[in-house]
């Protein structure tokens, strides 16, 4: 199986399409498709996406929305099945950005009005997910089977695995995090008059926040993290409470047969300690967090480690959704090719989560259950 990305770039009710007309030995010759291409060794979906879009169009959109994974199964006459796992994205750009599109050696690029897309010569399987894009469906995942060049079967890929962020999603941990951040900052000469002004510490990795927000070196930031944990590990972790309906939602999802996991940028041992404190550790099939040495730190790294623990099953990613409260969750999921549900009750902004491509934004755990079971 090989992996690839495909992106549809939109501008004022038009979609940028690529007519493959420049190469003779091209399986897509004579068809209109989006832009994208195969992964290089060591690439994640987000890296491949940005590189391919830049190479084929010259564009670098500010953000992309992950829409789903399309598994193509091609069974030719000789019966030797070929599989492709394609990561589907969209992006919106302005007219000014659109004016800078370069020529592409793969074919001819052209913006097509949305109401004219289905009149183009398209692969039959592409029509399936393009229709969903035109209808603005947020999560689009299918298994498409071709036999002898013709579309033979279409199966929707449902969600079977639900991965939860911890801080600001499962529990309101803000007070303990902010007080501990103030403790560390004050110790290093940064005056904090009101710890409640430090809500930006909730969610992202501590190393990121200390270096980006306070301009300190990585070495100094690690010392500040040690000071932070001096207070947090014994006190701050328990200045914390579950959001209403968490336990009930987890139990109902498990009864429906969903696998439940935690994926947090908080150190893994602290994740387990907090879940055990709340009496819900046994409701999670897997708990994954960051490592003290920084080898696993960002949301995408945490999610990749979770996938590794699940046996690198290619369908695990396609059948998973992350639930989180900040743009770090949506961005981290987008980078590896995972859908994300946002929550409005955490420390992010609901509007920002929607703009970045969250499939939905829930106002409560009751809504999370309804959204997950409806995907």
| Residue linked to tokens 């603005």 | 136
Domain count, the chain: 3
26 and 139 both lie in a single domain: yes
- pLDDT score of 107: 93
Range of the domain at 230: 174-238
Q: What is the 3-state composition of the chain as percent helix, strand, coil, each rounded to the nearest 5?
A: 40, 25, 35
250 and 207 both lie in a single domain: no
188 and 138 both lie in a single domain: no
The domain that contains 66 carries what CATH number? 3.90.79.10
The domain that contains 319 carries what CATH number? 3.40.50.1000
Q: By the 8 A CB rule, do 320 and 163 touch?
A: yes
**Residue in 74, 126, 132, 165 annotated catalytic:** 165
- pLDDT score of 345: 93
- pLDDT score of 81: 79
pTM of the model: 0.89
Answer with the one of 238, 253, 272 that is the final residue of a domain: 238
Which whole-number Å values give the CA distances from 309 to 110, 156, 285, 287, 313, in the listed order? 43, 25, 11, 10, 9
12 and 109 both lie in a single domain: yes
245 and 220 both lie in a single domain: no
8 and 129 both lie in a single domain: yes
Q: Give how far the C-alpha of residue 57 lies from the chain's centroid of Cα atoms, to the nearest Å.
A: 23
229 and 312 both lie in a single domain: no
107 and 35 both lie in a single domain: yes
> Helical H runs in the chain?
45-57, 95-98, 124-134, 174-187, 206-214, 218-232, 246-255, 268-277, 299-309, 314-318, 327-336, 350-355, 365-374
Q: Which of 373, 344, 374, 339 is nearest to 359 (CA)?
A: 339
- pLDDT score of 56: 96
- pLDDT score of 293: 83
**Beta-carbon contacts of residue 101 (< 8 Å; ≥ 6 apart):** 16, 57, 58, 59, 109
> Per-residue pLDDT for the chain (375 aa), expressed as one digit of tens each?
789 999 999 999 999 999 998 887 878 899 999 999 999 998 999 999 999 999 999 999 999 999 999 999 988 777 677 889 999 999 999 999 999 999 999 899 999 999 999 999 999 999 999 999 999 999 999 999 998 889 999 999 999 999 999 999 999 999 999 999 999 999 999 989 899 999 999 878 899 999 999 999 999 999 999 999 999 999 999 999 999 999 999 999 999 999 999 999 999 999 999 999 999 999 999 999 999 888 898 999 999 999 999 887 768 999 999 999 999 999 999 999 999 999 999 988 888 999 899 999 999 999 999 999 999
Q: How many CB atoms lie within 10 A of CB 102?
A: 11
- pLDDT score of 25: 81
The domain that contains 201 carries what CATH number? 1.10.150.240
- pLDDT score of 20: 92
Active site residue 165: yes
Give dist(CA 262, CA 164) in Å, integer. Answer: 5
- pLDDT score of 151: 94
326 and 217 both lie in a single domain: no
Give dist(CA 334, CA 331) in Å, integer. Answer: 5
211 and 108 both lie in a single domain: no
- Which residues face 104 on adjacent strands? 107
- pLDDT score of 79: 67
């Amino acid at each position: 199986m090989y992996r690839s990305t495909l992106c549809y770039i939109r501008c004022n009710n038009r979609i940028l399409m690529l007519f493959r007309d420049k190469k003779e030995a091209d399986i897509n010759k004579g068809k209109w498709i989006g832009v994208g291409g195969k992964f290089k060794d060591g690439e994640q979906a987000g890296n491949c996406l940005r590189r391919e879009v830049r190479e084929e169009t010259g564009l670098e959109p500010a953000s992309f929305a992950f829409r789903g994974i399309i598994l193509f199964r091609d069974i030719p006459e000789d019966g030797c099945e070929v599989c492709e796992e394609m990561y589907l994205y969209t992006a919106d750009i302005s007219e000014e950005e659109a004016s800078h599109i370069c020529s592409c050696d793969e074919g001819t690029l052209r913006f097509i009005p949305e109401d004219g897309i289905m009149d183009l010569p398209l692969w039959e399987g592409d029509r399936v997910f393009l229709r969903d894009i035109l209808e603005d469906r947020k999560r689009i995942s299918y298994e498409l089977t071709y036999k002898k060049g013709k579309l033979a079967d279409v199966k929707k890929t449902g969600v079977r695995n639900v991965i939860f962020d911890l801080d600001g999603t499962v529990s309101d941990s803000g007070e303990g995090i902010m007080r501990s951040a103030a403790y560390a900052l004050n110790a290093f000469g940064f005056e904090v008059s009101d710890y409640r002004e430090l809500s930006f510490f909730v969610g992202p990795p501590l190393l990121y926040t200390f270096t980006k927000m306070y301009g300190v070196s990585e070495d100094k930031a690690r010392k500040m993290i040690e000071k932070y944990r001096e207070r947090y590990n014994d006190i701050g972790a328990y200045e914390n409470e579950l959001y209403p309906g968490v336990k009930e939602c987890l139990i109902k999802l498990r009864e429906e047969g969903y696998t439940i996991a935690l994926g947090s940028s908080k150190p893994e041992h602290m994740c387990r300690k907090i879940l055990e404190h709340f009496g819900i550790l046994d409701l999670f099939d897997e708990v994954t967090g960051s490592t003290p040495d920084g080898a696993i730190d960002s949301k995408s790294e945490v999610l990749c480690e979770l996938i590794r623990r699940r046996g690198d099953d290619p369908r695990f990613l396609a059948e998973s959704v992350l639930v989180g409260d900040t743009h770090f969750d949506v961005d981290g999921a987008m980078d590896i090719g995972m859908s994300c549900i946002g929550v409005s009750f955490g420390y992010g902004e609901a509007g920002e989560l929607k703009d970045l491509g969250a499939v939905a934004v829930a106002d409560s755990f009751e809504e999370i259950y309804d959204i997950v079971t409806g995907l």
